[in-house]
Amino acid sequence: MTAPAPPTPLIRISHLSKGYVRGGQAIPVLLDIDFDVMAGEFVALMGPSGSGKSTLLNLIAGIDKPSSGTIEIGGVDIAGLSEGQLADWRATNVGFIFQFYNLLPVLSAFDNVELPLLLTGLSARERQARVAAVLGLVGLSDRADHYPGELSGGQQQRVAIARALVTDPQLIVADEPTGDLDRATGEEVLGLLDQLVHALGKTIVMVTHDPKAAARAGRLVHLEKGVLVDAAPAAH
């Protein structure tokens, strides 16, 4: 009898560097980062402003390109993908949760959640069923026809979470998901993220400044001046 194969990480980052050139001067943002995230993990990226945590999240989400190194997600080196390939990859593999929700104000909650499904080959009926299911999951079935302007901040963030979930991606990236919410609402949203990890097995990488929010994650990753300084389990 052979031993079961060790679980492979969902995200495998090696020798990742990112820098910008401003006014002819090279500004390093991330320096030689090596970092893995297992499937089903909830990772919080923390660090002071300018530490590179958002840049790292953007690179993992495939909305930015590294200067060097590799980012393998689900076995695909997304650093080597073209813009078009990256767009297709994001559509099926990543769910986004932003600090300011980034919902389209002219679309209802239902339509906002349906957006990512328009890039799939699903029929209208299938899309409707999926949107109804995820809105139910975030507790907003009765607000499907409401526009973002008619919803509270917490409700808008829950719509954004439903939108991130609707294509059933393995990876969800969240950039300060509670940054614009009060404490109680933030707690609700974090509870929902917890649920995604534990009940649905999603992998979440979250950037946060809030130690309480970070404490909900399974692992904390600290960045300072573009360097990974600590990757410890979160203290629950």
Partner 1 sequence: MFLLKLLLKNAFRHKLRTTLTMVGLVVAICAFGLLRTIVDAWYAGVEGSSSTRLVTRSNISLTFPLPLNYAQRLRAVEGVRQVSWANWFGGVYITERNFFPQFAVDPATYLPLYPEYRLPDEQKLAFFRDRQGAVVGRKLADKFGWKLGDAIPLRGTIYPGTWTFTLRGIWDGAEARTDESQMLVHWGYINEAIRQRFKGRADAVGVYILGIDEPQNAATVGRRVDALFANSLAETMTETEAAFQLSFVSMSEAILVAVQAVSFIIVLIIMAVMANTMTMTARERLAEYATLKALGFSPGFVVRLLFGESLLIAALGGVAGLLLTLPLAALFRSAVGTLFPVFQVSGLTMALQLAAALGVGAVAAAWPAWKMSRIDIVAGLRHV
Assigned token pair, 217: 């994650």
Q: Tell me: does residue 106 bind partner 1 (CB under 8 A).
A: yes
Assigned token pair, 118: 């328009």
Contact 59, 66 (CB under 8 A): yes
Q: Tell me: does residue 17 bind partner 1 (CB under 8 A).
A: no
In the range 140-179, which residues lie near partner 1 by CB under 8 A? 163
- Distance of alpha carbon 202 from alpha carbon 193, whole angstroms: 9
Residue closer to partner 1, measured from CB, 127 or 216: 127
Q: At what angle do helices 183-200 and 153-165 cross, to 10 degrees?
A: 20
Residue 96 CB, shortest distance to partner 1, in Å, is 6
* Complete DSSP assignment for 44-87: EEE-STTSSHHHHHHHHHTSS--SEEEEEETTEEGGG--HHHHH
SS3 42: strand
Residue 104 CB, shortest distance to partner 1, in Å, is 6
Q: Tell me: does residue 4 bind partner 1 (CB under 8 A).
A: no
Q: Tell me: does residue 216 bind partner 1 (CB under 8 A).
A: no
In the range 30-59, which residues lie near partner 1 by CB under 8 A? 58
Contact 90, 167 (CB under 8 A): no
Stretch of 22-30, 38-46, 105-113, 199-207 lying at the interface with partner 1 (CB under 8 A): 105-113
| Binds partner 1 (CB under 8 A): choice among 61, 109, 193, 220 | 61
Binding site for partner 1 (CB under 8 A): 58, 61, 63-64, 83-84, 87-88, 90-92, 96, 98, 100, 102, 104-107, 111, 115-116, 118-119, 163
